[in-house]
């Protein structure tokens, strides 16, 4: 069976935690998009791991992981991450493989990415990891894939600094390089987890363009990124937080007001540890945006939603969520494409009572306080999508299933 885990908001929804949790029953994990712009945090007991490129199944000693063909891979960042894992006792050798169709990030691309964003009239606030530059080189047909590392003529044509850089990593990359489609075929009867990066609203096509990343973070990207066809995907899980966050620039209609709601803003940011794992930037925080979430369900065929960070709301008297936008005096429920419209959108909020108790030890839906269930039931109805998994804390096991995943 093949299960896809995507972000259903603007990234940082807890995809890494979910992939780690679900990987227990998988044989293989494939990360299908993005690069070192991602930051996936996994907490096991007193240990915290931040992964950027390596798929989140790596922490189990018996899982095989693949970096997919939709990814852009900075070899320097990859080998630093693998060294970090080794130093922390995670033995990865022989079980990390990379698609020969994945593209490589060169140091020059990282610099170009930063320079280009700094020069933009309306900067995107990229992570500066060379992501956009590498994906544009790919579309220009000037990119370098792992498969090209032993294409002598192509490598000869590169600048000296590029050659020197690739030379350092070439042998190691080649030893991990695979034909991903053939590997997927080999594993066709196994449980495979496909791990997305970023989120539905940061997807190049379905996101809030141009304030997006450059990869395919949508569920359709899972098929392409793993080298299989879309009919091979069995289930799509969309991870979202009980509230919204966004890092970098671009519209966010439900963002809390820093001046008039500074208490709520800072409470959510601090309790939710809403600081970028990759860049350390404080994340923008706001109400759950159901207009955007329903759009994400529709554009990604989400079968089940996965709700994380519900416990962050444990102490609030009252909770609000956005059920429509008001744009130029009109009520809008379909997520707009225009940045101008999104910038003007004012959230129409619905109130819910708080539950005022800790959810940390809840492992059954019916054991949750009624007001917490009311919030979840409303989300399900609004999005016409069931919430199948709920996370009530940072730890791997602070999670419960309402229905079987595999």
Answer yes or no: are the C-beta atoms of 372 and 273 closer than 8 Å. Answer: no
| 362: nearest Cα among 389, 399, 404, 387 | 399
CB of 120: closest distance to ligand IMO in angstroms? 12
For residue 216, what are the CA distances in angstroms to 90, 219, 360? 29, 8, 34
Residues 6+ apart with CB under 8 A from 210: 122, 124, 339
Cα-atom radius of gyration of the chain, to the nearest Å? Answer: 21
Pairwise CA distance, residues 301 & 303, whole Å:
6
Minimal distance, residue 10 CB to ligand IMO, in Å: 6
Candidates 34, 39, 75, 347; binder of Mg ion (CB under 5 A) is 39
Name which position in 129, 177, 241, 284 contacts ligand IMO (CB under 6 A). Answer: 129
Catalytic choice (20, 40, 103, 309): 40
Choose from ligand IMO, Mg ion, none: what does 389 bind? Cβ within 5-8 Å by kind.
none
For position 308 contacting ligand IMO by CB under 6 A, the verdict is: no
The residue range among 118-126, 173-181, 302-310, 391-399 that interacts with ligand IMO, by the rule CB under 6 A, is 118-126
Q: Say whether 87 is catalytic.
A: no
The span from the CA of 146 to the CA of 287, in Å, is 42
Q: Is the peptide bond prior to 210 cis by the omega test (within 30 degrees of 0)? A: yes
Residue number with CB closer to Mg ion (12 or 81): 12
Q: How far is the CB of 297 from Mg ion (least distance, A)?
A: 21
Binding flag, residue 253, ligand IMO (CB under 6 A): no
- Does 131 help bind ligand IMO (rule: CB under 6 A)? yes
What DSSP character marks residue 255?
A: B
Which is it for strands 28-31 and 64-67: parallel, antiparallel or unpaired?
parallel
100 vs 274 by CB, closer to Mg ion: 274
- 40 has catalytic annotation: yes
395 DSSP β-pair partners: 43
By CB under 5 A, name the one of 4, 6, 9, 12 that touches Mg ion.
12
Closest among 220, 215, 191, 196 to 204, alpha carbons compared? 215
At residue 214, the 3 state secondary structure works out as coil
Contact between 282 and ligand IMO (CB under 6 A)?
Answer: no
- For ligand IMO, the closer of residues 10 and 243 by Cβ is 10
**According to CB under 6 A, which one of 43, 92, 125, 365 is a site residue for ligand IMO?**
125
Of 58 and 345, CB closest to Mg ion:
58
Of 78 and 323, which has the nearer Cβ to ligand IMO?
78
Q: Which does 238 bind (CB under 5 to 8 A by kind): ligand IMO, Mg ion, none?
A: none
Residues in the chain: 406
Q: What's the CA gap between 324 and 228, in Å, rounded?
A: 37
The contact mask relative to ligand IMO for 168-207 (x = CB under 6 A, - = no) is -----------------------------xxx--x-----
Query: Taking CB under 5 A as the rule, does residue 14 contact Mg ion?
Result: no
Q: Answer whether 149's CB lies under 8 Å from 99's CB.
A: no
**Quick check: 4 and 236 in contact, CB under 8 A?**
yes
Measure the CA–CA gap between 14 and 207, rounded to whole angstroms: 19
Q: What is the set of active-site residues?
A: 12, 40
Interface residues with ligand IMO (CB under 6 A) are: 7, 10-12, 34, 37-40, 124-127, 129, 131-132, 197-199, 202, 213-214, 247-248
Interface residues with Mg ion (CB under 5 A) are: 11-12, 39
């Amino acid at each position: 069976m093949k299960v896809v885990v995507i972000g259903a908001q603007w990234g940082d929804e807890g995809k890494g935690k979910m992939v780690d949790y679900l990987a227990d029953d998988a044989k293989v994990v494939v990360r299908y998009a993005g690069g070192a712009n991602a930051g996936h945090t996994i907490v096991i007991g007193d240990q915290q791991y931040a992964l950027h490129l390596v798929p989140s199944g790596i922490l189990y000693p018996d899982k095989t992981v693949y970096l997919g063909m939709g990814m852009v891979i900075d070899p320097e960042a990859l080998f630093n991450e693998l060294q970090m894992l080794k130093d922390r006792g995670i033995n990865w050798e022989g079980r990390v493989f990379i698609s020969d169709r994945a593209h490589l990030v060169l140091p020059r691309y990282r610099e170009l990415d930063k320079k280009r964003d700094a020069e933009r009239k309306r900067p995107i606030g990229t992570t500066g990891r060379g992501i956009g530059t590498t994906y544009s080189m790919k579309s220009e047909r000037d990119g370098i894939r792992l498969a090209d590392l032993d294409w002598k003529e192509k490598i000869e044509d590169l600048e000296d600094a590029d050659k020197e850089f690739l030379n350092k990593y070439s042998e190691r990359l080649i030893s991990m390089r695979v034909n991903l489609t053939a590997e997927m075929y080999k594993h066709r009867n196994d449980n495979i987890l496909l791990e997305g990066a970023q989120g539905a609203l940061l997807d190049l096509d379905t996101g809030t363009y141009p304030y997006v990343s450059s990869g395919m973070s949508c569920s359709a990207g899972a098929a392409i990124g793993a080298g299989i066809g879309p009919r091979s995907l069995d289930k799509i899980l969309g991870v979202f937080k009980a509230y919204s966050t966004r890092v970098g620039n671009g519209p966010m209609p439900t963002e809390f007001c820093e001046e008039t709601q500074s208490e709520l803003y800072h409470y959510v940011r601090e309790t939710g540890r809403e600081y970028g794992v990759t860049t350390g930037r404080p994340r923008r925080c706001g109400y759950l945006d159901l207009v955007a979430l329903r759009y994400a369900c529709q554009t990604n065929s989400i079968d089940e939603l996965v709700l994380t960070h519900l416990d962050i709301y444990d102490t609030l008297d009252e909770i609000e969520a956005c059920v429509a936008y008001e744009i130029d005096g009109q009520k809008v429920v379909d997520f707009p494409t225009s940045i101008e419209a999104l910038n003007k959108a004012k959230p129409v909020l619905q109130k819910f009572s708080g539950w005022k108790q800790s959810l940390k030890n809840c492992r059954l839906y019916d054991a949750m306080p009624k007001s917490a269930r009311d919030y979840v039931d409303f989300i399900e109805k609004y999005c016409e999508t069931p919430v199948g998994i709920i996370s009530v804390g940072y730890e791997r096991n602070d999670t419960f299933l309402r229905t079987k995943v595999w």
